Structure formats: structure tokens, C-alpha cells
Amino acid sequence: MSAASKSFSTVLLGGGVASGYFAREWIKEGGKGSDLAIISDDTVVAYERPALSKAYLFPEGAARLPGFYTSVGVGGERQDPTWYSSHGIEYLTETAIKSADLKNKTLTTEDGTAISFEKLVIGTGARVTRLEDFKTPGADLEGVYYLRKVADADALLEGIAEAKKKGPDVNIVIVGGGYIGMEVGAGLVKHGVNLTLVFPESRLMERLLTPELAGFYEKYYEGKGVKLIKKDLVTALEGTDGKVTTAVLKSGKRLPVDLVVVGTGARPNVELFKGAVDLLEGPPGGIKVDGRLQTSAPGVFAVGDVAAFKPAFTGELTRQEHVTNARLTGAYVAREILTPGTQPEYDYLPFFYSREFDLSWQFYGQSQGDPVHFGDQSSGKFGAYWIKDGTVVGAFLESGSEEENAAIKKVIQTKAKAPSDLQAQGLAFAASL
């Protein structure tokens, strides 16, 4: 597909998760397909991005497109390129927008094509933080991988296959002990490689997991042969003939590597709109939106990872880099453009999930205040509540059933008061509400 000098009543910039769910809602709510254009620099139409760090990395039975185009993540229709064209939606892939003139309502592509709009939805998402951003020497060596797009995942898998051709012992260092590092680690260890996670925190997913919860996952990973190096940093990469061979750590350790995978977070893609819309300065950054996901520029909305809004639950202006928020904001703005002002303001209950090996957890709310653990880790089903001023503000559950996950969600949604015997009641407390 190639860009043309065209004019659309609505343009969605960014072909990520939010765009797929926007298009789905647009059609569901009676929007005219030919009024809508989606512009993306990716090579493929919108897909369920979380698959990339999960089933996409499996050595056998891996997820591949077209299997995970949106909106299969919620059991919806698989929106392949034909779905968009059959609805008359113009989906421009491999089309990078290089400048945005919001006053004149025009976007300009890399090749100079002007695309004008009446309404614009900014869904430019986030990009990975690169080792270059930390000025890590050797960041540009061959063999350093990131994971945001299908092409990144393909390159990583090819890198492993190439390394395996040279010998059975393939050493991979993953930089980062967050959920990307954990999920990628779980996927790659199945390839029979030697895997080491290096991260500066004192435990895995330190911002979310308590020492007790993290302890379970750390033991589990170590049991699968994954080495964890905590409280340390990759400060340099060294190589031979332009190819990475060694990860040098702050502690002075030197790890032999064939591949390095970096999972150190993401930054919102806001640069095109600097000076044209109000931005949230400093980390986490993002484009400020109001309760209807409208930016400070008339007729311009922002959705998904790039949008900074105030969920009622936290009252803090922040971004939510979570797939559920991308899906919901996409659908919300489609309705808002089609029938302005007829729905309640957007709200989002912070929610996150992850799947690693045969583990699967969900988390709702905030991990703030005092944690109360429940369940027996050896049984595989356990979790924690977080209590602040007598209210349960966060709930985490490993291996919950659909009903149990819905129950912990309800605890947070209803701002349940914590009973004095919460620990003894455990999951039964959630089920009793």
C-alpha cells in the first residue's frame, strides 16, 4: 500500500493495538469506512503486540501473523488487510509521517505527500529505550536486539538460529528485570540457550512485586536454568569484527555473549507534536488529554501508550503502557468522534497481566501501601493485596481462574475496606464481595 495525496475526515496516526480497536469500534458503531485512514510506518496492519514477547518466541507452535491481528485478543474478528479494505478503510502501511501541521490539519509523509484531515487521532505509541540512550559503549554492535515490532522478533529469532549454527552453546544476556525481560527470558530459554538476566534492582519487577512474590518467580526462573544477576548493570559491550562478544558489568564481571536483548522500558512518541499540543513534561511524558481523550488542539485526540490522562483511581496524570488501555482508548475515541459527548468520560482501572512458562498473573490497582500476602506458593496459587489507609488499593494473583481474577478486580473497583483477618481470608475475601 502506498500513500496518496488525499483528504480524510478522520485520520489515525499509528498502526498499533489502539488503531485496530478504533477501526473495529468505528465499523461496529456505523462509521463509514471510507471516512477513515490509518497511517503506520510498520509493514503490517495492527496486531496484538503482547504476543511478541510470549508465544511468538516459542521454538515450536509459535504464534505468527495472521494469527494475532487485532482484535483476536478479546475474541473479536481477525482484522487482516482484507478486513480493512472490505470496509473501505484506507490502511497505509510503511508510511512514516515526518511532520504534523495541526493548524492546517495536515500530516506530511517521508516522501512529501500531504494528508489532510478534519479529526486526528494520535496513536503513535512508544518506542523502546535503547542502550544508545544510556550512552552505553558498544551499543551499536551487531547482536544487540530490542523487541517492539514483528520485525524485531524475527531478527532476534534469526540471530539465535545463526548463533546456533556456530555451536551448541549460545549465550544470551537480557538487560532488564521487568516484565519484558522476564517474558523474553521464558520464551528464549526454550531454545536451549544459556540465559542470564542482568538488572540493577534487588529483585525481579521490583516496582510491582514484593520480595516475597519476587522470590517465587526468581526461584522458578532459576529452576528453569536462567541465571539472575541483580544489583548490577551492563555498562559496556565489547565485540570482535563489529559483533558483540562480551557484556561488561558495573561490578567488573565480564559475560561472554552471542546475543544481547535489551528490555529497559519505552518512551512515548510525542516529538511530531511538540509545541502543537500540551505535553506531560519529564518521565513518563506523553500527550495530555482530557476526560474525552481530547488533546489541547481542537479535533485532535490521543490514544494508547502515548496518551497521558488521569484515571479516577489514582488521580494522577500518567500514561498506561498496557494493552487493555490501548484497546479501550481506541474504541472510546471512535465513539467520541462518531457521537460526540454522548458517553461518560473515559476511565481506566490500572490493570496488568503477564504470562511466563506455565505461570500467569494479573494485577489491578496500585502496589502502594502495606502488602498482605495470601495463599501457598507451593500450591502455585497465591497473591497479595496492598492496603492504604484501610482500603485495598492493589491486588495480585498468580494462576487465578477467570472468576478469581474477576473477583480481585472487584476488590479494587469497589475500593473494598480491608478486614482485620484479610491474610487468613485471602482469596476468599475477594470471592465474598
The residues that touch ligand FAD, with contacts defined as CB under 6 A, are 14-19, 39-42, 49-50, 52-53, 96-97, 123-126, 147-148, 180, 269, 272, 304-306, 321-324, 326, 352-354
Instruction: Please identify, using beta-carbon distances, which residue of 246 and 354 lies nearer to ligand FAD.
Output: 354
Of 364, 338, 272, 346, residue with least CA distance to 304: 346
Compute the distance between CA of residue 29 and CA of residue 36 in angstroms, rounded to an integer. 13
Least Cβ distance, residue 35 to ligand FAD (angstroms): 20
Instruction: Please identify, using beta-carbon distances, which residue of 245 and 320 lies nearer to ligand FAD.
Output: 320
Compute CA distances 250 → 100, 182, 244, 316, whole Å.
42, 21, 17, 35
Instruction: Please identify, using beta-carbon distances, which residue of 50 and 426 lies nearer to ligand FAD.
Output: 50
Q: Which residue has the cell 496459587?
A: 381
Least Cβ distance, residue 237 to ligand FAD (angstroms): 22
Q: What is the H or E stretch that residue 32 is in?
A: none
Question: ω before 371 within 30° of 0 (cis)?
Answer: no
Compute the distance between CA of residue 427 and CA of residue 431 in angstroms, rounded to an integer. 6
Of 184, 134, 155, residue with least CA distance to 144: 155
Instruction: Please identify, using beta-carbon distances, which residue of 138 and 350 lies nearer to ligand FAD.
Output: 350
Least Cβ distance, residue 415 to ligand FAD (angstroms): 22
Least Cβ distance, residue 372 to ligand FAD (angstroms): 24
Least Cβ distance, residue 318 to ligand FAD (angstroms): 13
Q: Are strands 351-356 and 6-13 parallel, antiparallel or unpaired?
A: unpaired
Q: Which residue has the cell 555473549?
A: 257
Least Cβ distance, residue 424 to ligand FAD (angstroms): 31
Instruction: Please identify, using beta-carbon distances, which residue of 13 and 255 lies nearer to ligand FAD.
Output: 13
Contact 1, 92 (CB under 8 A): yes
Contact 407, 427 (CB under 8 A): yes
Of 171, 227, 228, 220, residue with least CA distance to 199: 228
DSSP tag of 307: E
Compute CA distances 262 → 80, 172, 182, whole Å.
30, 11, 11
Instruction: Please identify, using beta-carbon distances, which residue of 71 and 354 lies nearer to ligand FAD.
Output: 354
Least Cβ distance, residue 31 to ligand FAD (angstroms): 18
DSSP line for 271-285: GGGBTTB-B--STT-
Least Cβ distance, residue 412 to ligand FAD (angstroms): 16
Instruction: Please identify, using beta-carbon distances, which residue of 52 and 226 lies nearer to ligand FAD.
Output: 52
Least Cβ distance, residue 392 to ligand FAD (angstroms): 21
Instruction: Please identify, using beta-carbon distances, which residue of 351 and 429 lies nearer to ligand FAD.
Output: 351
Instruction: Please identify, using beta-carbon distances, which residue of 1 and 387 lies nearer to ligand FAD.
Output: 1
3-state secondary structure of 356: strand
3-state secondary structure of 164: helix
State which amino acid sits at residue 70. T
